[in-house]
């Protein structure tokens, strides 16, 4: 069996397929993680999505992380490793979505930069206070992108001489709304039969 080939006996859909080989020795514990994920799916599929804001969605994902910890109560190392892998992939997905946002106005550029920093540092295992955490990473000045062919860093950094002051309150409200849209996308994927498949 090749290093990355994993027996279906230890398969767990919550763990991205390319990461499964790391957990192949934890057959019994992975069954517990799978069962916890299935239970979470059942409980979350019954919850309304309408009006769910970023705080609510983050709480639902944190519940999953807590459930993983409970499922691996006798193996803290495994619990933390599963939580870390799932968090890393959720973070990567969120940043991919944010990278596609337009930054062709002052406010959009500020929102994009804010969300990039917010999702780079987000800890899905912890209680998050979106308004405080988002407000804390809003830039003082930004440069709207002029040329879509620029690299991501170029779009965010831009020319210092063209940077404009950011209205923190309007940026906060726009960033909270946009972050909710980002969270809805990755949360919906977690609820799907193939959470790590291509879009």
What average pLDDT does range 142-159 have in this prediction?
56
Question: Quick check: 60 and 47 in contact, CB under 8 A?
Answer: yes
What confidence tier does 4 reach under pLDDT thresholds 50, 70, 90? low
For residue 3, which of 14, 16, 15, 19 has the smallest C-alpha distance?
19
pLDDT grade, residue 199 (50/70/90)? low
Q: In whole angstroms, give the CA distance from residue 85 to residue 20.
A: 10
Q: Which residue has the higher pLDDT, 164 or 37?
A: 37
- Indicate if the pLDDT at residue 101 is higher than 50: yes
Does the structure show a pLDDT above 60 at 176? yes
Q: Can you tell me the mean pLDDT for 84-96?
A: 96
Residue 148 confidence (pLDDT) above 50: no
State the DSSP code for 185.
H
The answer to whether residue 121 is domain-embedded is yes
Count how many domains the chain has. Answer: 1
Could you tell me the residue range of the domain that residue 23 belongs to? 19-190
Q: What is the pTM of this model?
A: 0.84
Contact between 135 and 118 (Cβ < 8 Å): no
Closest CA to 172 of 111, 113, 119: 111
Q: Does some domain include residue 116?
A: yes
Residue 7 lies in a domain: no
176 domain residue, yes or no: yes
Q: pLDDT tens digit string along 105-123?
A: 889 999 999 999 999 999 9
- State the average pLDDT over residues 112-136: 93
């Amino acid at each position: 069996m090749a290093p990355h080939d994993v027996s279906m006996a230890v398969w767990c859909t919550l763990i991205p397929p390319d990461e499964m080989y790391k957990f192949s020795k934890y057959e019994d514990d992975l069954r517990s993680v799978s069962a916890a994920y299935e239970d979470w799916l059942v409980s979350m599929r019954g919850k309304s999505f309408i009006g769910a804001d970023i705080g609510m969605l983050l709480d639902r994902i944190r519940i999953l992380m807590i459930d993983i910890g409970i499922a691996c109560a006798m193996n803290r190392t495994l619990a933390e490793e599963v939580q870390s892998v799932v968090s890393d992939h959720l973070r990567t997905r969120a940043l991919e979505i944010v990278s596609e946002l337009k930054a062709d106005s002052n406010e959009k550029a500020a929102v994009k930069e804010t969300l990039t920093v917010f999702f780079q540092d987000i800890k899905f295992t912890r209680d998050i206070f979106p308004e405080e955490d988002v407000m804390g990473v809003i830039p003082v000045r930004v440069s709207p992108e002029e040329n879509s062919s620029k690299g991501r860093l170029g779009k965010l950094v831009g020319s210092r001489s063209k940077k404009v002051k950011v209205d923190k309150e309007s940026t906060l409200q726009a960033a909270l709304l946009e972050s909710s849209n980002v969270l809805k996308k990755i949360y919906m994927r977690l609820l799907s039969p193939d959470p790590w498949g291509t879009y």
